[in-house]
Structure 1
């Protein structure tokens, strides 16, 4: 689920800078993959800041890299609970990709809100705030025909609450169902 991101620097950087009043810069990458650095926004020394974090962790017990955590359990799973409480981040992106089996072939679909809109994915920073794991949730009706999970998308008016609110406040956002219309194209 959600193993590739689409990042288009303009208008993404401009919109994020205007929305959050911070300096945010990233480069266009229409196939951003796990282990690559992702431009996120978190709190550093009490201020909203851009944090460029490699996507994924590899705990000793894991057989492979972990890039996603389930929103339904992130606040209680031992691997994620501390990062959820103290190191929540937002991943601004232009979209994400999912693959669906069609007539014996995998077809790649881009999920976005069009070229001029930004999606804000929920994430947590682990390993001392140095690595990114994104959060997934049950899909809304529009996404359910493509995959059994989708990113947890935070409404733009709740970004600061997600990043710097209390754990209780952030917990309320874990059940947010994204109900805005997405553009889905192969």
Structure 2
């Protein structure tokens, strides 16, 4: 999705002059995100690395579970105070035995703007401060459940506004993180290639 189109669809302004990102985003890579800082009047689109980086784990925490996001120390404060959305056109899931997995491309069949729900925080990495985000996952809807036992929390329409609103009540926010009620479709992309 073009950055200018993104700004128009989500009623935001561009914080970065240039956006260099791949069509398919992998953990640790940068992706466009939209935040609404309570101290500012407008939403902003910037780039942020995917995956929380903590001192207690060598792995990036790329997802936060909706069921416990308001309880886990790593995610709790971000859920209450630092929420964002990640615009997307498609997302991918894998299914099958190890070494022979099939990649499936999921698409949202909606006309209105839609985005993943996420949270963000600041981390110190190699003596450098860096803002990073994590996506929120929830129970799958019936279509997503055919391939995977979780799905990203997808927001549309007014739910995007509620999620980004600094004054939204936690109980309201939690209700937004439900299986996607709209229509999804998916198609196989091909088997996983074993790399040496």
Does the 8 Å contact 1:84/1:167 carry over to 2?
Answer: no
Does the 8 Å contact 1:120/1:156 carry over to 2?
Answer: no
Aligned to 1:41: 34
Please give the alpha-carbon distance, in whole angstroms, between the structure 1 residues aligned to 2:121 and 2:95: 30
Does the 8 Å contact 1:93/1:118 carry over to 2?
Answer: no
Indicate which of 100, 108, 120 corresponds to 1:105: 100
Say whether 1:170 aligns with 2:165.
no
Alignment CA distance shift 1:103-1:124 (3 Å): closer
After superposition, the C-alpha distances for 1:130-171 in whole angstroms (9 at most, x for unaligned) are 111000001111011211110011122211110124242322
Q: Which runs of 5+ in 1 are unaligned?
A: 1-8
TM-score between both structures, scaled by the size of structure 1: 0.82
Q: Which moved more, 1:29-38 or 1:100-109?
A: 100-109
CA RMSD between the two structures: 2.6
TM-score between both structures, scaled by the size of structure 2: 0.79
- After TM superposition, the runs of 4+ consecutive aligned structure 1 residues lying more than 6 A away are none
Aligned to 1:136: 137
- The alpha-carbon deviation at position 99 of structure 1 amounts to 0.7
Please give the alpha-carbon distance, in whole angstroms, between the structure 1 residues aligned to 2:142 and 2:110: 22
After TM superposition, the structure 1 = structure 2 runs for residues 29-68 of structure 1, keeping only pairs within 5 Å, are 29-44=22-37, 45-46=39-40, 47-68=42-63
Alignment CA distance shift 1:82-1:103 (3 Å): closer
- The alpha-carbon deviation at position 38 of structure 1 amounts to 1.1
Alignment CA distance shift 1:121-1:34 (3 Å): same
Q: Which runs of 5+ in 2 are unaligned?
A: 124-129, 189-196
Aligned to 1:3: none
Aligned to 1:179: 181
Q: Which moved more, 1:56-65 or 1:131-140?
A: 56-65
Q: Which moved more, 1:91-100 or 1:152-161?
A: 152-161
Q: Which moved more, 1:64-73 or 1:26-35?
A: 26-35
Aligned residues between the structures:
175
Indicate which of 45, 53, 73 corresponds to 2:68: 73
Alignment CA distance shift 1:103-1:162 (3 Å): closer
